[in-house]
A and B are shown apart, each in its own frame.
Chain A
Amino acid sequence: MFLTARTRLVFRLLAVVGFAFLYVPLAIVVLNAFNSSRTFAFPPTGFTTKWWRLAAESQGAKDGLVASLKAGLGATAIALVLGTMAAFAVQRYRFFGRSSVSFLVILPIALPGIVTGIALQNAFHSVLAVDLSIWTIIVGHATFCVVIVFNNVQARLRRTGAALEHASADLGATGWQTFRFVTFPALRGALLAGALLAFGLSFDEIVVTNFTAPPDVQTLPLWIFGNLFRPNQAPVVNVVAAVLIIVAVVPVWLAQRLTDDAAGSRF
């Protein structure tokens, strides 16, 4: 290895500082969830679990959670189907305009959220004349979740290659049988990881959601945003925030277990 002991030490120290930068703010949110001061005076003078009880009783937070789960599941289902199809087409066939497909898939996540948001709102409102509902949220989320499934599946297809599928066809399997018994089992991990990550993205989205949600539907991020500046609600919001931080570990850990590509090909 070309690294001297001193270089290793330098990079180790820099990495420690970097990880501290990533985690200190999150740690403070979790700490403040127990801070007995309503205004989060720092350092805390006392600790309490009172806010957790209040948060557990908050109807707004519960409704938000339900709306976010619905939006996330709907968007993930659509993204799984569309993303897998596009990944197959791009990875297993050669055709004119192939690179444009990748470009088009990336576009909804690469363009600024506000552009996607107002474009969709305008389309729903003045072009299609549909009322905003949970479905318009799902359509918006699915559009930018496709790329995540696409990239996970594409990475897996690239690695497994087409040899097994050819072998299966040579042995007389129909196209469906090959998919059912050869391709799908090889893809399962990538599909699950893609689904988890897509769900996570949808669950957290606010910029586009703000423009595609009707006034009477609040996803969890919209609820948080709506209550962030209300002094009364601040401790409850903080508890919800702390829960979200802790819960975030689960899908990441699962996705990591399911596929080694998770880090390299999230997008």
Chain B
Amino acid sequence: MLLLVPPMTWLVVVYLGAIAAMLVSAFWTVDSFTENVVREFSTANLHTVLTEPIYRTVALRTLFVALAVTAIDAVIAFPIAFYMSLVAKPRLRRFLVVAVLTPLWASYLVKAYAWRTLLAPDGPLSWATGGYTPGYGETALVITLAYMWLPYMLIPLYAGFERVPRSLFEASADLGAGTWRTVRSVVLPLVFPAIAAGSIFTFSLTLGDYIAVGIVGGKTQLIANVIADQVVLNQPLAATVALIPLLAIVVYLIAMRRTGALENV
């Protein structure tokens, strides 16, 4: 059991310690004259975050973007994973696994940047569609985030497909189910925990992203932008705002734990 001491010390001290310190600092304030942090308990920041409409607006927008991105990724990833696992021949499958993993390791910034290029006023999309492009804003942001997080959905989903016992398909067919019935009633429920596992990443990554937002989002702000902008001016307030994505993801993780998603991560 001594094996556990170093990793757990690291994670508890470095990570949980840092998170705890941040939680404490969320209840401090900044002196408006000296701009120094006042280390006294105060719920002023909490009050600000809960009552100022801007925080609610941004939080809801972020939630909407995260949901849209997750849904889009699930819809795109399902047929790809299905094809890779159940249709493609083994040789092709190995190649496709590499093909799915490669964009994941191509730089994050490169991908955001690629979409900035694609959606530019005189860029490829505009050229291909004869002048139409959504421009930089919320739509561009949803597309770009969906693109960047797609492999995070695809990989667990493909692994989920691989774990489905093939004999169940025979059983389903023997019982008289057609293809679509088998997909809907057998395959989908069995890969659902994998989709849930993927959604942890699509969700969490969207909640924590402020860089891509700056690249393709135009004037759109997500919750992470608000935090990043505040952190220099008012660290305690930034910590308070950070409670929103923190709580959202903890609640989400606990909910997902029930679906068995964490074993699929």
Contacts and interface: CB of A to CB of B under 8 A. Distances in A.
Given A40-B123, A119-B19, A126-B37, A263 B109 contact: no
A169 interface: no
Interface in B105-125: 105-111, 113-115, 117-118, 120, 122-124
A244 B7 contact: no
B122 A122 contact: no
Contact of B6 (A7, A82, A105, A143): A82
B94 interface: yes
A121 B25 CA distance: 12
Interface stretch (A48-56, A180-188, A200-208): A200-208
Contacts of B265: 106, 110, 151, 267
Contact of B103 (A26, A210, A267): A26
Interface string A236-255: 01100100110011011101
Given A42-B123, A123-B17, A206 B238 contact: no
B194 to A, nearest CB: 10
Contacts of B22: 115, 118-119, 122-123
A106 B201 CA distance: 11
B245 to A, nearest CB: 4
Contacts of A251: 105
A237 B6 CA distance: 40
A162 to B, nearest CB: 14
Secondary structure class of chain A's binding surface, majority of residues: helix
Given A42-B122, A253-B98, A207 B37 contact: no
Given A2-B170, A29-B110, A114-B227, A207 B211 contact: yes
A122 B108 contact: no
Contacts of A142: 10
Contact of B115 (A25, A41, A81, A248): A25
Contacts of A7: 179-180
B204 A89 contact: no
Given A112-B224, A115-B246, A107 B15 contact: yes
Given A111-B208, A114-B228, A221-B108, A28 B76 contact: no
Given A25-B118, A119-B19, A228 B109 contact: yes
B84 interface: yes
B150 interface: yes
Interface in B4-35: 4, 6-8, 10-12, 14-19, 21-22, 25
Contact of A105 (B7, B147, B201, B238): B7
B130 to A, nearest CB: 13
A49 B83 CA distance: 39
Contacts of A29: 110, 113-114, 117
Contact of B98 (A115, A118, A252): A252
A8 interface: yes
Interface in B169-222: 169-170, 172-173, 177, 179-180, 182, 200-201, 204-205, 207-211, 215
Contacts, number: 296
A200 B107 CA distance: 9
B67 to A, nearest CB: 15
Contact of A28 (B37, B114, B158, B215): B114
Interface residues of A, number: 95
Interface in A91-108: 93, 95, 101-108
A166 interface: no
Contacts of A25: 111, 114-115, 117-118, 147
Nearest to B80: A18
A145 B197 CA distance: 18
Contacts of A10: 79
Given A127-B21, A143-B10, A264-B162, 4 more contacts: A22-B150, A112-B204, A116-B18, A207-B224
Interface of A: 1-4, 7-8, 10-12, 14-15, 18-19, 21-26, 28-29, 32, 39-43, 78, 81-83, 85-86, 88-89, 93, 95, 101-108, 110-116, 118-123, 126-127, 139, 142-143, 146, 151, 200, 204-207, 210-211, 220-221, 224-225, 228, 237-238, 241, 244-245, 248-249, 251-253, 255-256, 262-267
Interface of B: 1, 3-4, 6-8, 10-12, 14-19, 21-22, 25, 37, 76-77, 79-80, 82-84, 86-88, 94, 96-111, 113-115, 117-118, 120, 122-124, 126-127, 147, 150-151, 155-156, 158-159, 162, 169-170, 172-173, 177, 179-180, 182, 200-201, 204-205, 207-211, 215, 224, 227-228, 231, 235, 238-239, 242, 245-246, 249-250, 253, 257, 262, 265
16 contacts: A11-B87, A15-B83, A22-B150, A26-B106, A85-B6, A103-B262, A110-B204, A112-B205, A113-B205, A116-B18, A119-B22, A127-B18, A139-B14, A207-B211, A210-B211, A256-B97
